[in-house]
A and B are shown apart, each in its own frame.
Chain A
Amino acid sequence: MAAPLDVTGATAEAPPEAVLEGAGKAIEGRSLGQIAWMRLKRDKFALAGGVVIILLILSAILAPLLTKITGGPPNEFHQDLIDPTFSKPVGDGPFAGFSWAHPLGVEPRSGRDVFSRILYGAQISLVIGFLATLVSVAIGATMGVIAGYFGGWIDTVISRTMDAFLAFPLLLFALALAGVIPDHAFGLSGNTLRVAVLVFIIGFFNWPYIGRIIRGQTLSLREREFVDAARSLGARSSYVLRRELLPNLIAPILVYATLMIPTNILFEAALSFLGVGIRPPTPSWGKMLADAVGYYSVAPMYMVVPGLAIFITVMAFNLLGDGLRDALDPHAR
């Protein structure tokens, strides 16, 4: 799921069906959660990823405060810092425009502070990344459990639907859909509407990945003794689903949700890069990269900074996700 493939972001990291199979086998005396946490604590990379994520979330939330200290408002123009002939920050070398007041330099053309735009851009990336994942997980887990548990024609229908989804050029659909978002709809307007639509598009198009994994998990869990036992004791489907299956599915859902967030962040960045993200002047990382295209020879850092922001964020989530998977899965170590 950590696969930010070319356009589509669509190739799922084919999860070896067995990856999480061991999730249920807890060593006696300690709960699965405790063991996982112990393992996670030993995984320095995963911890680092977690710390970075927490810092990112904090700085996104505290962006208004942080930019008071340095950087200033994200949309404020500083044209005195721009060389009008070349539209680039005044000064020589790649780090032209960097100063204490503007620790990551200023945007070509407008002189807006890059640091504060990155922070505010983090809000957009994280909000869309999390919410879209929530949508994917909600749809994917529900469909996956239903398909895996009931089997038969229900499974066939859902599995075929997932196959069909995977056969669609998703990025193209997303582009086409996002390109026609009206100014107001569903009682929302402006950027609120756009964020909502982006969340829906990204989340909706990506649910089959998590759906497939959860279906596989459910399939194998269904055949386990404890499920059999519950069923033979006369438990109804809803009970088995809720009390027996779901608790055992939480671990894989958690892992793949963590790994899906970076994919969705990349998807959002790709849409913004291609020009169908949120509206100006609200900053977004993908849009910043797209803007940098025309300036990479004269203001290279303007391209590097948002690129690194995406990279660090995605990497942090991937590290944490990998760590979580390893921690919850004795096989992979």
Chain B
Amino acid sequence: MTRYILTRVLGAVLMLVVTSIVVFGIFFIVPRLAGQTTDQLAAQYVAKDPSPEEIAAIKQKLGLDQPVVIQYGRFVKGIVVGREFQFGPDTEYCPPPCFGYSFKTQRPVWPDLVDRLSVTFSLAIGASIIWLVAGVSIGVLSALRRGTFFDRFAMIIALAGVSLPIFFTGLLSLALFKPTGVNYVPFTDSPFEWAYNLLLPWITLAFLYAALYARLTRAGMLETMSQDFIRTARAKGLPERTVTTKHALRATLTPILTLFGLDIGLLLGGAVLTESTFSLPGIGRYAIDAIGNNDLPQVLGVTMLAAFFIVVANLIVDILYAVADPRVRLS
């Protein structure tokens, strides 16, 4: 077991390294592919018409004049052991994980990310509870009452749910229920205001996922119900209730919970569309702004964070699987 976990963790770390190389490579190479010189890149980060000397100074400060390998090395070094930055009169130590300082705002990226994460986390936590409960229960009910009006109706709604873009349902719900828009209030400031303001984003986001989960749960449930062990259970004379809850539901839930873990991982990396639509200052919004501003440290920080969540979610799911089902370890 320990060995299995170790291999998995190692695999995850390796995956993160590969991701960081690819992410860095893409964001390093793409602007150059589009024909930008390092001078042009540097010039973006000085507000007014810069002189060649100013551009050279900025270029040097940001390290844009270095070859890609060195820049990547610095980037990794910052994440692992931290880096020092020159700041006017003082040198500032940026502790690990250091994603550097924003080219635009000159603020360290990591604390900003942590700050934004609380918003995205708040969004994800509320929405995921709603969608898991709603999606799974509707799915189970639909499967148990297969072919009934409830089933058909629920499944049509679910299909509509997965067919609606969140930026449309979001705008629609804003227009209908909260034309003044959503204003994020931190939980620590006022739990009530926090929940009140997040309610609409939660429901909108949860609607989408609940629809998906209802469909998956129903399909999984039907699949399980037709399998041998259920037949055996029934044949043994177990009450139908025990068969469905104890056996069928359990078997169905495993893949659903797997997906749930992965979805949470994805969401924590930034619910870009939801946050854009509701103007929530989360990771996703941060990412959009970072890309819009061409702020390389911000972009790298946010994409690496997103990748980190996905990889970690995968890892956790894998390990839990192994704990639950010893066969996985052997294969």
Contacts and interface: CB of A to CB of B under 8 A. Distances in A.
- The reply to whether A and B meet directly (CB within 8 Å) is yes
Interface of A: 2-8, 10-11, 13-14, 16, 18-19, 45, 163-164, 166-169, 171-173, 175-177, 179-182, 262, 266, 269-270, 273-274, 286, 289-290, 292-293, 296-297, 300, 303-304, 307, 310-311, 314-315, 318-319, 322, 331-332
Contacts of A304: 172
A164 B212 contact: no
Contacts of A5: 208-209, 212, 263, 266
B320 interface: no
A169 B286 CA distance: 13
A7 B273 contact: yes
B130 interface: no
B102 interface: no
Nearest to A18: B223
Contact of B270 (A172, A269, A303, A310): A172
12 contacts: A6-B208, A6-B284, A167-B310, A169-B302, A169-B306, A172-B272, A172-B302, A176-B26, A177-B26, A296-B171, A318-B159, A318-B163
Contacts of A315: 159-160, 163
B307 interface: yes
A167 B307 CA distance: 5
Contacts, number: 176
B30 A176 contact: yes
A171 to B, nearest CB: 5
B212 to A, nearest CB: 5
Given A5-B263, A172-B302, A293 B171 contact: yes
B255 interface: yes
Contact of A8 (B18, B35, B171, B266): B266
A167 B288 contact: no
Contact of B205 (A3, A6, A19, A171): A6
B159 A274 contact: no
Contacts of B284: 6-7
Contacts of B262: 11
A274 B288 contact: yes
Given A270-B167, A289-B165, 4 more contacts: A2-B215, A164-B15, A311-B165, A319-B159
Interface of B: 15, 18-19, 22-23, 26-27, 30-31, 33-35, 156, 159-160, 162-168, 171-172, 174-175, 179, 205, 208-209, 212, 215-216, 219-220, 222-223, 226, 255, 258-259, 262-263, 266-267, 269-274, 276, 284, 287-288, 291-292, 299, 302-303, 306-307, 310-311, 314
A3 B15 CA distance: 25
A10 to B, nearest CB: 6
Nearest to B172: A307
A311 B164 contact: yes
A175 B288 contact: yes
B19 A172 contact: no
A80 B272 CA distance: 38
Residue among B22, B162, B274 with most chain A CB within 10 A = B162
A332 B221 CA distance: 11
A45 B288 CA distance: 38
Given A8-B266, A169-B306, A179-B291, A314 B163 contact: yes
Given A169-B303, A180-B34, A310-B165, A13 B287 contact: no
B116 to A, nearest CB: 14
A161 to B, nearest CB: 10
Contact of B274 (A7, A274, A318, A332): A7
Contacts of B274: 6-7
B161 to A, nearest CB: 9
Contacts of B22: 164, 168
Contacts of B291: 172, 175-176, 179
